[in-house]
Amino acid sequence: MVTRTKTLQLVFLNGKAKKVNLTVQNVADDLDSETVKTAMTTIAQADAFAKEGVDLYQVPQSASYVERVVTNLFDNSAAESKQSAAGGSIRANH
């Protein structure tokens, strides 16, 4: 089974001039650069996000769509959870 996801990664400089990322999921995949720049500027001007007294998203730097493809080879998690619920255990012999 193949799972594809697309996120928007926003990169800002924080109040100490260090890069910080903000990743947005479930985003429209047809945003243009001006729309994203405007949104990032709004986030920066809001001064709503700080950690330990440092503004997190102070200066917009860049934005990128990031696509991720996951191909599952197998998934026994359903069987393992049923076995755990029944009191069984899974052990590997070496």
Secondary element (H or E) of residue 60: strand 59-71
User: Would you state the pLDDT for residue 79?
Assistant: 73
- Please report, for the chain, the start and end positions of each structural domain, with discontinuous segments joined by +: 2-85
Retrieve residue 88's tokens. 């069984």
Per-residue pLDDT tens digits for 16-69: 999 999 999 999 989 999 999 999 999 999 999 999 999 999 999 999 999 999
* pTM strictly above 0.85: no
pLDDT band, very low/low/confident/very high, at 78 (cuts 50, 70, 90): confident
pLDDT band, very low/low/confident/very high, at 86 (cuts 50, 70, 90): low
Rounded-to-integer distance, Cα 25 and Cα 42, Å: 18
